Structure 1
Amino acid sequence: MEIRQCENQEQLKQLADLADVIWHEYFVSLLSKEQIDYMVEKFQSYDAIDRAIKEEGYTYFLAYEEQTLIGYMGVKLEEKRLFLSKLYLRKDKRGQGLASILLQKAVDYAIVNGKQSIYLTCNKYNQHSLDVHHRKGFYDIDAVVSDIGHGFVMDDYILQKDL
């Protein structure tokens, strides 16, 4: 697997297209189709990702296998820690250790940038992802329910990994 930073509009379009596919197949057991559609448009669409990069300080890393985009990760440097906003792989690429490689990229990026920890949010009912993060050294630091508009909320745990 090769990891590259998202650097142009074509990569950004491919990222948004992949996000749409991943979200609609992965989150169907956790969220309604309406909420998935809304969240993809609000957080994972071309415009949302472009805005996150240009206005909010996010960096996106793209995972390729044989020149095919198979996953992505979005991070944001904060004062003392790194926010791991997104880390997703295509369904056929999960369970092969590739998410661990992406996570290590986040750790390396945080260390190079002088951060003391990484944190993320994870849906409280996404037990598989919670278990994976706990095995990777993350621990729960808080729980939050965030109103994201249109009558939808994100019901998450906040997890942190110290570096």
Structure 2
Amino acid sequence: MEIIKASLTDYKTIYNIAIPVWDATYKTILTQEQMDYMLKLFYSEEAFTEQVSVKGHQFLLAVEGTEYLGFASYEVNYQSETTKLHKLYVLPQAHGKGVGKALVTVVENAARKNINDKLLLNVNRYNPAVHFYLKAGFENKGEDDVDIGNGYLMEDYLMVKQL
């Protein structure tokens, strides 16, 4: 498996990973209407372009041979000496292969290179991935409800990992 840096030209690949991951993860947590709203908000081509070109998010892809297994996005110096892990998605069929761990390791190394001393992320409180993050060394620092418009809230845990 290899972790590579993604670019704007990788939009379709990232989108094609996000859709099945969202379906598997959120179909029992969110309504279909909220999922559709959030996918458009965060995964439209326009939103992706803004994340990369304006907000400075870095995207990574995990690839094995010709098969893409997952992706991550992060932002160094998010809050002073903090790197924010914005997204980490691994296809269900690739769970247990070390994909998530490999992506987190690359983000940790980028954070250290930029003299950031911690990673920060939000994860839905009902997402089974909470256990992955705890095992990876993140600590639950409390709840964070984020109003994303249209009457929807992201009901998350705020998680931090000291580097």
Regarding TM over 0.5, the answer is: yes
Q: Secondary structure at the match of 2:36?
A: helix
Structure-2 separation of matches of 1:97 and 1:6: 19
Structure-2 separation of matches of 1:161 and 1:37: 31
Structure-2 separation of matches of 1:37 and 1:95: 28
Structure-2 separation of matches of 1:73 and 1:44: 13
Give me the identity figure in percent.
Answer: 27
Structure-2 separation of matches of 1:160 and 1:70: 25
Aligned to 2:84: 83
Structure-2 separation of matches of 1:38 and 1:50: 18
What does 1:1-163 align with in structure 2 at a 5 Å threshold?
1-9=1-9, 11-77=10-76, 78=78, 79-126=80-127, 128-163=128-163
Q: Secondary structure at the match of 1:56?
A: coil
Amino acid paired to 1:65: E
CA displacement, residues 15-70 of structure 1 (integer Å, 9 cap, x when unaligned): 12221222122211111111111111101222211110011110100111112222
CA contact (8 A) 2:8 2:52 kept: no
Q: Secondary structure at the match of 2:97?
A: coil
Structure 1 segments unaligned to the other structure (5+ residues): none
CA contact (8 A) 2:3 2:102 kept: no
CA contact (8 A) 2:70 2:88 kept: yes
What is the total number of aligned residue pairs between the two structures? 161
Residue 13 of structure 1: how far off its partner (Å)? 2.0
Residue 125 of structure 1: how far off its partner (Å)? 1.6
Structure-2 separation of matches of 1:109 and 1:153: 30
CA displacement, residues 54-104 of structure 1 (integer Å, 9 cap, x when unaligned): 111101001111122221000011221100010001110012221111111
CA contact (8 A) 1:59 1:76 kept: yes
Tell me the TM-score normalized by structure 2.
0.93
Where in structure 1 do 4 or more consecutive aligned residues deviate above 4 Å?
none
Tell me the TM-score normalized by structure 1.
0.93
CA displacement, residues 91-138 of structure 1 (integer Å, 9 cap, x when unaligned): 100122211111111111111111010010011122x21122111111
